[in-house]
Amino acid sequence: MQATDPALIERVRDRVVTRILRLPRAANRYQIIRAVRIPMRDGAELIADRYVPITSDPAHTVLIRSPYGRGYPFPHFYAAPLATRGFHVIVQSVRGTYGSAGAFEPAVNEAADGLDTVAWLRQQPWFTGRLATIGSSYLGMTQWALMQDPPPELAAAVVLAAPHDLSAAWATGSFALADRLSYADGVAHEGERIGLSKRARNLVKRRGVDKFASMMPLSAVGRAALGPDAPLFESWLTHPDRTDNFWEPQRFDDALNRCRVPVLLINGWQDLFLDQTLEQYRRLRERGVEVALTIGPWVHARMLRKGASTFVPEALDWLTSHVAGTAEMRRRTPVRIFVIGHGWVDLSDWPPVLPHRVFSLQPGGGLGDVAPPAGAQPSSFAFDPAHPTPTIGGPLLEGGGYRDDTALATRSDVVCFDGEPLTRDLYVIGEPLFELTHSADNVHVDVFVRMSEVAANGQSTNVSEGFRRFSLDSPRRRARVDIKLHAIAHRFQAGSRIRIIVAGGSHPRFARNPGTGEPVATAERLVPATHYVHHGAGGTSQLLLPATDGPPFG
C-alpha cells in the first residue's frame, strides 16, 4: 500500500474547513494510505484508511470506527483536522460495512473488534503507545464498547451524542418507534452512495414513516417498510424487557464503571441520546474520572452541520492536551452549555443547584403558583389509539428539534394549561419534574407531557417533554405519577407564557398504546381511554422547575 498526497480539491477543502471552524493553523501536511486491512481474531479483515502526518515529532493515534463509510463527513471534520495537527488517524469501517468482512449486527461485535484493532496497532512501528478515540452517534457507541475493557494505551476519548445502551428503546415502557424504524431503514441501505436515488428514497421515507407506523400489527411495519431487512427492527420490537439477555451485547454499561481516561462528552438539547449523555457524565464524575460536558442547541441529524464550529475545536483542544500533552487545555470549567435565548455559559457542574419553582395545574386550563381550589373538578381528555396524538418536533433521530407546536394545544385529545405572561425572564436549567395525579377509565395508558414557551404573539414552541407507559390498579382509581422531562437550559422571556400539554401519546415517536395490555408487536385491537388530570383535594398536579429570575452564572 502506498501513501498518497490528498488531491488538490481535498487540500482546498481542508483550508476552508480550518477557516470555517476557526481552528489553529495546520502544523503539517499529511498523506493517506487507503484500504488498509486489519485482521480480527476470527480471520475477518476490516478495512481502514490511515491518515499519516508528515512530521518529525511523535505522532499519536486517533481511532475512528464507523458503519457509515470512510468518506464524508469523517475526513472533513475529524481526520484532516487531526492529521494536519500531528496525529495519526485511523478511519475504520466496522464489520460488515463498506468492504469490511463479516455481517453487520449493530453493537454486537464492536467490543471484540475494537480490542483486536488496538492489538493490531501495537504491532505497527509508527504506533507510539498513546491512543485516543473520537466520533458521534454509532461512532461514539464503539468507543463505549472499547472502554468496557479499556486497553492501557487509551489516553482520552471524545464522545458525541452517543448511547451506551440500546435497550433504552424501551426506557419509557413504550417502544421508540420512529427512531428505531428510521435507524433500521438506514442500516438496510447503508451501502448506497449518496446520490439521487438515495436522496429520493430518504424523501419517501420521511413522508412515509407515519403511514408505516400506523399499520397493525406493529410487527407488520418492519416487513412493509424494510422487506427482507425487517428482522433487525422486529428483534428490537419483540424484546420489551430491558433485562432480557437479548440486550446484553447491545449494552456497554460496564464502560461507565471501568473507564479511567479523560472523556469529553458533547450533545444537544434536542438529541434523542441526551439522557444517556447526562448519565455518562454523572457516573464518570461520581467516580472521579476527568470528564467534561458540552451541550449545544442542536438536534441529532444536524449536529455536524450546526455544531462543528463548536465541538471540533473543543475536541482538538481535548486531544492535544490529554494525548499529545503539547498545550494547556483552554477549557475553563467542566461544563459548557448553551442556554436557549441567552447563549453559551460555563458551569462548574451539572446540574447547577437552583431553587424549585412550583406551578400548579388549575381547572379551566390555568397554570399558576397557587394551589387550586380544594373542590376543583379534574380536567379530562380522550385518547383514541386509532387516531393517535401526533408527534411534533422534539428529540428525534430525524425530523425533530424545536418546532411551532401551536396546533397541538388545539386538539381535542389533549388538555392544555397556560401560565400568565411572565413579568421577568425565567431561567430554567436542569431537569423539570411533572407530578401528576391521574386516573383513567382504562388501566392500560400512556401519558405524554410537553412544556412549551408561548410567545406574546401566541406562537408556541416546544422546550421539553416526558413520557411514561404504565398500568393502573383499577379503572378510575387515582394514582400519583412522576414524569421526568428532558433536561433543558432555557430562558423564558418576559412577556411569554409557560404551557403544559398533557396527552395520551406522541405518535410515531412512541408506539401507541393499544389499550388492551397486549404486546405492541402483535396487538391488533385498539381500545380508547379517557384520562383525568386531578386538581383538588383528591390530589394536585404540578410542574417543578429548577429556575431563577436571573442567570445563575457570572
pLDDT single digits (tens) 393-413:
999 998 899 999 999 999 999
Cell of 53: 502526518
Distance, CA of 310 to CA of 291 (rounded, Å) = 17
Task: Give the pLDDT confidence of 432-445 residue by residue, as tens digits.
Answer: 999 999 999 999 99
The per-residue pLDDT for 396 is 96
The per-residue pLDDT for 124 is 97
pLDDT band at 206 (very low <50, low <70, confident <90, very high): very low
- Using the predicted structure, report yes or no on whether residue 198 has a pLDDT greater than 60: no
Task: Select 8-168+246-331's CATH number: 3.40.50.1820, 1.10.3470.10, 2.60.40.1220, 3.40.50.1000.
Answer: 3.40.50.1820
- Using the predicted structure, report yes or no on whether residue 327 has a pLDDT greater than 90: no
pLDDT band at 324 (very low <50, low <70, confident <90, very high): confident
Which of 258-267, 305-314, 484-493, 498-507 is the least confident region?
305-314
Residue spans of alpha helices (H) in 170-273: 177-188, 196-213, 219-226, 230-237, 255-258
The per-residue pLDDT for 229 is 79
Q: Half-sphere exposure of 550 toward its Cβ, with a 13 Å CA cutoff?
A: 2
More confident residue, 73 or 391: 391
Distance, CA of 287 to CA of 278 (rounded, Å) = 14
Cell 417543578: give the residue: 544
Cell of 122: 501495537
| Separation in Å, CA 433 to CA 50, 272, 401, 424, 482 | 48, 18, 21, 22, 7
Cell of 247: 440486550
Distance, CA of 271 to CA of 461 (rounded, Å) = 16
- Using the predicted structure, report yes or no on whether residue 203 has a pLDDT greater than 60: no
More confident residue, 333 or 207: 333
- Using the predicted structure, report yes or no on whether residue 193 has a pLDDT greater than 50: no
Mean pLDDT along residues 7-34: 85
Give me the residue spans of the domains in the chain: 8-168+246-331, 176-239, 356-548
Residue 162 CA, distance from chain mean position: 6
**CB-based burial, 303-312: b 16+ in 10 Å, e otherwise:** bbeebbebbb
Using a pLDDT cut of 70, give the percent of the chain over it: 95
Mean pLDDT along residues 146-174: 97
Q: How many CB atoms sit inside 10 A of residue 31's CB?
A: 15
Mean pLDDT along residues 485-503: 98
Distance, CA of 416 to CA of 418 (rounded, Å) = 7
- Using the predicted structure, report yes or no on whether residue 209 has a pLDDT greater than 90: no
Per DSSP, the residues of 31-81 read: EEEEEEEEE-TTS-EEEEEEEEEE-SS---EEEEEESS-SSTTHIIIIIHH
- Asked whether the CA dihedral 262, 268, 271, 276 is positive or negative, the reply is positive
| Separation in Å, CA 277 to CA 241, 284, 422, 473 | 22, 11, 32, 34
Q: Which CATH architecture has domain 356-548?
A: Sandwich (2.60)
The per-residue pLDDT for 554 is 56
Per DSSP, the residues of 527-553 read: --EEEEE--STT---EEEEEEESS-S-
* Residues near 185 by beta carbon (within 8 Å), at least 6 away in sequence: 205, 225, 226
Mean pLDDT along residues 473-497: 96
Q: Give the SS3 label for residue 209.
A: helix
- Using the predicted structure, report yes or no on whether residue 239 has a pLDDT greater than 80: yes
pLDDT band at 543 (very low <50, low <70, confident <90, very high): very high
pLDDT band at 43 (very low <50, low <70, confident <90, very high): very high
Task: Give the pLDDT confidence of 496-508 residue by residue, as tens digits.
Answer: 999 999 999 999 9
When computed from its CA atoms, the radius of gyration of the chain, rounded to whole angstroms, is: 25
Mean pLDDT along residues 173-184: 94
* Residues near 342 by beta carbon (within 8 Å), at least 6 away in sequence: 427, 491, 551
Distance, CA of 281 to CA of 350 (rounded, Å) = 8
Distance, CA of 176 to CA of 159 (rounded, Å) = 22
The per-residue pLDDT for 220 is 87
Mean pLDDT along residues 307-331: 90
Q: Give the SS3 label for residue 443.
A: coil
Task: Give the pLDDT confidence of 219-228 residue by residue, as tens digits.
Answer: 888 888 888 8
More confident residue, 211 or 417: 417
- Using the predicted structure, report yes or no on whether residue 205 has a pLDDT greater than 60: no
- Using the predicted structure, report yes or no on whether residue 47 has a pLDDT greater than 50: yes
Mean pLDDT rounded to a whole number for the chain: 92
The per-residue pLDDT for 190 is 62
Cell of 475: 379503572
Q: Which helix (H) or strand (E) holds 368?
A: strand 366-368
Mean pLDDT along residues 233-262: 96
